[in-house]
Structure 1
Amino acid sequence: MNLFRVTTIVFLAMLITVGCTTQQEKSPEEKLQKIKSLIQEMELEGQEMSNRLDSVAHFYQDLLAKKDSLLKNPAPNPYNFEGPFSTNLPGQDSSLSSIIILNTTPDRQKAMQEVQMTNSLDSVFRDFIQKNPIAVQIYSNSSMQVSRVYPSYDAKNIVDPNIDVKEFNFYYEADLAHNPGKGVVWIPDAYIDPAGKGWILSLVHPVYDGQNLFAVVGVDFTVSDIIQNYLESMEGEFILVNEKGDIVAGKANAIEAFSMPPLKNHVYRETVQSDNFRISDFNIFNSKSREVRKMAQSFLLDKRNHFDFIEEPNLNEAVCMRFSQIGWFLIELFPNI
């Protein structure tokens, strides 16, 4: 083999190597652009959902403005009650919600009148769910302790009728003290849904009667659906955390790589539905890895967006970006190949 041929082969090999490296290696800026696009997709759908929930709240406000005439000339009431619970069952009539007049109501007679006055919410709720497939339920909870949830569910066997809805964040996060702007509010922390949907996130909106908070309308999304609809739709290892470092959602491989507790069936969305799940266990500041905890400090407290791993043999780097509309951070992890 002559010198020219050898030189040519070496040169071509170098071009191939450089070409492969160029395709595989992306700059931190390019990696940030990827998660920025994912965040924008999630926030766009969230904004559309917010606008539609705002419309629901305005419809509710209009009902309150006409309450005297609605109570004077009531429409037929499709609901009957056994104690606190409406008697309709899931699957019987898809036009109806499940309604609970909780035992904590200060005036059951006024609560019954409220049910009568607000029954037209059912058609609005149904339309909302049909147009927002990622939403699992829409509801209203009133200061009179009337809870209306659509679609209907087995409330009698799930909900304690002695609860006070005002003690739950899906109510008080919308009150005047927490929400002086009286608009749509995201609840950034996942919580257990008393209606049995598992770990969920909520978007809520207050409804005022004059200066008084009359009710809060809200829509729920399950953590498992966020994982399936967004994080698993894009190639890469992603974790979504709140400002405290709690993992809101994430891919199983990424969570395990961050040295978090073992997952049930190795799937995070199944783990968060289990009875023994504690969200504090899944906080990146509590990772068994010192370097992961250092990364959490860098991203959440120091507001940096790139971190290189040195000590972790299986981890190379991570990038992070904050949401603009809610106190969440999206992290993409890059393991060593």
Structure 2
Amino acid sequence: MVNMKKGSLHSIIYNNYLGASLIPIFVIELALIILYFSINFFISEKNMETMLNEASQNIKEISTRETTNINNQLREISRSAHFLQNEHQLFFTNPEAFGMPNGKDIEFEFSDNGAYYKKTQVGASLYYGNTVVIGDKEKEKAYRSEAMDTSLKEIVENNPNIVSTYFNSHDVMNRLYPFIENVAYQYGPTIPMEDYNFYYEADAEHNPERDHKWTSAYLDPAGQGWLISCIVPIYNGDFLEGVTGLDVTIDKFVSNILNLKLPWNGSAFLISENGMILAMPEKVEKLFGLKELKEYEYEKAITTTVEKPEDYNILKNKNKNVAKELKNMLDQHISLNEIEIDGKKYLISQETIQETGWKFMMIIEEETLFEPIYHLKDLSDKIGYLAIGLMFVFYITFFVFLLKKSKSLAKRIASPIETLSRVTDSLGRNLDSLNLRDVGILELDKLNKNFNSMGSELETRTKELIDSQIREKMKEKEAEYAYSIGLFESASSYLHNIGNSLAGINGKILNMKKSLSTTSNYPRVFEAIETAHKNSIAGGEDRTLQNISKFKTILIDKLVPKLEENLDDISKAQDQIVLTIKHQQEQFTKSNGDNTKKYIMEFRVDELLRNIIKDFEPSFKKHDIEVIEDISAYLLISNQRHQFAHGIANVVKNAIEAVEMSVNDKNEIRFKAEKIADGVLVSISDNGIGVKSENKGNMFKSGFTTKDNGHGIGLHSFVNFLNANDGRIEFESAGIQQGTTFYITIKNTKAK
């Protein structure tokens, strides 16, 4: 048999027409779109490359310019330092040649800590440590050094970068401008000069050239926070009289020198030759996860050099890759490099400040640099996406047009054959005997399929019918099973309530047994009366009637009423059981009336609670449980009394068992009842074993119990009763050995 490719006339016309008209245009347009986005990507890459080259050149030029500017400002400070060096060395050569700018009435005195200081608040402050014996020579030196104040003051006032100038002598004398009011307290008893970098870095060992030196960032003992100093040695011949210095705070450095308006939102910062960050603005702080050290809370005197922590060494940054890239950049003297910080790329440049050897670093985020190019590329991409959208709309419209044309053409060709197919549908009645062969045309082959599949279709439908009937039977069985489960749950609930009533009866029987246990002593009582009678006759006075009267009081007035009371309580419990069984029987009886209405009655909740407490009195005594009552009077309610009583009794029974399992020294159960809107709120609290947190969600579920011999029926039945009668039950427990409190709400209701 020859294999033929099957298809309808409509599909043949549609596929060929679509293939010849639509597909070539689609392929051409797709190629144009790919070409467009490829060219757009290529142009963007070239623009970014060009922009990077131009930016690199600009960054180098800016770095050089700003480095020159900073270098000039630092040189100005260095020149001022040399000016002071020449003046102070001349002063120590001939101190009498200098005038006294602050006048002659300058007062000095000793502080409580032994330091010698200037009391008159004019010019610069003066401090002498207590490690030096202050004699006439030292006092004269302190007084004569007032001549230094004019130059110290002029330099601070004429250079905005300099915050203070000072002279530190070899014998622990410090003269500093501006004036420090409580200088003796600020410095403490003495200043170990040779321990500070702003002194020892200028001595002969560290500075044999006697030139100016720039310190690293350190904490100022004079109270100005973190700063950098330009220091010069002061010699008298070959003897080092001391060191003169000019201070620039980190805050001043950032605000006056590094507060630059750089292009592309760039930032600049300074580092020392070994990578320690000297000063940085806020942007750089956030970038490296550091906070610039500017101010400091002085709680005590600074007695040694305190430099910046190692965390501020950029070559020891917590980002190992950043530290490695920057170290390589410094070691190889690379002027411009690209680094990655927190997933973002940055351009970073370095330029050496000749005056100090420090590095001026400038950093710019590449995303900011390329933002115009990204914007242009995004705009070009949007134009491309818009073109794709318009093409999609065009092809949908064109496709609909072709579809309509192809359907119209197919209908004109296939209509005669479809008519022939309809005619053959009515031929013959015994269709299962027909064996029609395929002819290669879909409309005619459809007839073969219809007739040949008829038998299998009937068989399939028959099976479906049988399956449907089986499912209906299963649903009926499931309904019967659910009904049985409901009957079981109802019966279990009532049996549980009967159990609670029997528990009360058991308590009364125990009381009766205790009362009757005293009758075992009656023979001895009669024997005592007989003996007393004989003794009375012998003594001449008969007291027999008096003794019989006492026994009568015990027997008739105490024992018999007690037994009658217990029998009356047992009779009430029996009536309650009978009422429960009757209620259960009527619930199973199919009648047109609502049987629940027969059990709605008015009753006092306060009396019901006290009766239940009395029923459980033997159990309370047995387990040494203290009962605390806070029950309001005359709590009248209209509802199903016996169902509510059974539920309360079940809660009390559970409370007794919970207390029995606890480890408390004192056991107690608290009853409280009060009037609420249209109802009564009852709370029963115990200090028993409590409820585990994982069990709280299951407390009211059917079958859930935490007791070895429990059935999980009592609370579940009580919940069902309350839900059906406008009531509610809740509980709270802080956990194991923390006790439990149940809150039961019952309202005036009608049967539902």
- TM class by smaller structure: 0.7 to 0.9
Which of 309, 331, 343 pairs up with 1:279? 309
Q: Hey, what does 1:161 align to over in structure 2?
A: 189
Q: Which runs of 5+ in 2 are unaligned?
A: 1-41, 299-306, 368-752
How far apart are residue 107 of structure 1 and its match?
5.0
Does structure 1 conserve the Cα–Cα contact (< 8 Å) formed by 2:88 and 2:234? yes
**Hey, what does 1:85 align to over in structure 2?**
117
* 1:123 corresponds to 2:150: yes
Shift of the alpha carbon at 1:213? 0.3
- Corresponding residue number in structure 2 for 1:55: 83
* Secondary structure, aligned partner of 2:217: strand
- Deviation per residue, 1:158-201 (Å, 9 max, x gap): 212322122211111111111111121111x1000000000000
> 2:268 & 2:162 partners in 1: Cα distance?
22
* TM-score computed with the length of structure 1 as normaliser: 0.82
Aligned match of 1:198: 225
Structure 1 residues 107 and 233, CA, compared in 2 at 3 Å: closer, same or farther? same
Aligned to 1:38: 66
CA distance in 1, matches of 2:128, 2:347: 52
Map of 2:175 onto structure 1: 148
Match of 1:299 in 2: 329
What secondary structure, in the 3-state scheme, does the structure 2 residue paired with 1:119 have?
Answer: helix
Whole-Å separation in 1 of the counterparts to 2:210 and 2:135: 27
Check whether the contact 2:218–2:308 (CA below 8 A) recurs between aligned residues.
Answer: no
Distance 1:135 1:28 in 2: 34
Indicate the residue corresponding to 2:239 in structure 1.
212
The one-letter code of the counterpart of 2:117 is: F
Match of 2:203 among 156, 161, 175: 175
Q: Which residue of structure 1 lines up, in the alignment, with residue 430 of structure 2?
A: none
Q: Contact 2:226/2:296 (CA < 8 Å) preserved in 1?
A: no
Q: For residues 56-97 of structure 1, give each alpha carbon's deviation from its aligned partner in whole angstroms, at most 9, with x where no partner exists.
A: 2211122222146779xxx725232233221134xxx3xx11
- Structure 1 counterpart of 2:354: 324
Structure 1 residue aligned with 2:622: none
- Structure 2 counterpart of 1:185: 213
> Can you list the C-alpha shifts for 1:198-225, whole angstroms capped at 9, x where unaligned?
0000001111111100121110000011
CA contact (8 A) 2:275 2:315 kept: yes
SS of aligned partner of 1:134: coil
Cα distance in 1 between the residues matched to 2:311 and 2:45: 43
- Which residue of structure 2 lines up, in the alignment, with residue 6 of structure 1? none
Task: For residue 26 of structure 1, give the secondary structure of its aligned residue in structure 2.
Answer: helix
Q: Give the superposition deviation at 1:18.
A: 8.5
Q: Which structure has the larger Rg over C-alpha atoms?
A: 2
Q: What residue number does 1:7 align with?
A: none
| Aligned residue type for 1:247 | I
Q: Which has the larger share of helix? A: 2
Q: 2: distance between equivalents of 1:311 and 1:125?
A: 45
Range 216-225 or range 308-317, more displaced: 308-317
Which one-letter code corresponds to 2:155 in the other structure? Answer: F
> Match for residue 233 of structure 1?
260
Cα deviation, 1:226-253, whole Å, max 9, x if unaligned, reads 1111212332212211122111111222
Partners of 1:45 and 1:70 in 2: CA distance: 30
The CA distance in 2 between the partners of 1:69 and 1:290, in whole Å, is 60
The higher-RCO structure (CA 8 Å, 6+ apart) is 1
Count of residues paired in the alignment = 308
1:109 aligns with 2:106: no
User: Quick one: structure 1 residues 32 and 283, their matched pair in 2 at CA, closer, same or farther if it must change by over 3 Å?
Assistant: same
Q: 1:336 to 1:17 in 2, by over 3 A?
A: closer
SS in 2 for 1:81: strand
CA distance in 1, matches of 2:156, 2:97: 29
CA distance in 2, matches of 1:333, 1:110: 55
Structure 1 window deviating more from structure 2 (204-213 vs 106-115): it is 106-115
Letter of the aligned partner of 1:172 in structure 2?
Y
Once residues 221 and 278 of structure 1 are traced to their aligned partners in structure 2, the CA distance between those partners, rounded to angstroms, is 15
Correspondences of 1:3-14 after superposition (within 5 Å)? none
User: Structure 1 pair 26/79, CA: closer, same or farther in 2 (3 Å)?
Assistant: farther
1:29 aligns with 2:57: yes
The Cα shift of 1:23 comes to: 6.9
Q: Structure 1, unaligned stretches of length 5 or more?
A: 1-13
What is the CA distance between 1:327 and its match in structure 2?
A: 2.7
- SS of residue matched to 1:118: helix
Q: CA deviation at 1:301?
A: 2.3
Shift of 1:257: 2.0
Instruction: Report Cα offsets for 1:74-124 as digits up to 9, x if no partner.
Output: x725232233221134xxx3xx11100111225543221211222111111
Instruction: Look up the equivalent residue of 1:170 and give its one-letter code.
Output: F
Are the aligned partners of 2:273 and 2:359 in contact in 1 as well (CA < 8 Å)? Answer: yes
Specify which of 92, 99, 106 is matched with residue 64 of structure 1: 92
In 2: Cα distance, 1:88 partner to 1:157 partner: 16
- Aligned partner of 2:202: which letter? A
Partners of 1:99 and 1:20 lie apart in 2 by 61
- More strand per residue: 1
**Which secondary structure does the structure 1 equivalent of 2:187 belong to?**
coil
Question: Aligned partners of 1:311, 1:134: CA distance in 2, in Å?
Answer: 32
How much has 1:278 moved relative to structure 2? Answer: 4.7
Is the contact made by 2:156 and 2:163 (CA closer than 8 Å) also made in structure 1? yes
Counterpart of 1:99?
A: 126
What's 1:11 paired with?
none
Q: Is the 8 A contact 2:233 2:242 kept in 1?
A: yes
Q: Is the 8 A contact 2:98 2:147 kept in 1?
A: no
CA distance 1:249–1:310, shift in 2 (3 Å):
closer
Alpha-carbon separation, structure 2, partners of 1:31 and 1:103: 54
Q: What secondary structure, in the 3-state scheme, does the structure 2 residue paired with 1:232 have?
A: coil
Q: CA RMSD of the aligned region, Å?
A: 2.9
- The equivalent position to 2:159 in structure 1, one of 122, 132, 140, is 132
Tell me the secondary structure at the aligned position of residue 217 of structure 1.
strand
State the one-letter code of the partner of 1:244: N
Pair 25,252 (structure 1): closer, same or farther in 2 beyond 3 Å? farther
Letter in 2 for 1:307: N
- The alpha-carbon distance between structure 1 residues 111 and 328, as it changes in their structure 2 partners (threshold 3 A), is same
Contact 2:168 2:175 (C-alpha < 8 Å) held by counterparts: yes
- What is the distance in 2 between the residues matched to 1:194 and 1:333? 33
**For residues 77 and 58 of structure 1, what CA distance do their matches in structure 2 show?**
27
Q: Matched residues in 1 for 2:329 and 2:191: separation?
A: 38
Q: Distance in 2 between matches of 1:274 and 1:210?
A: 39
Structure-2 residue corresponding to 1:5: none
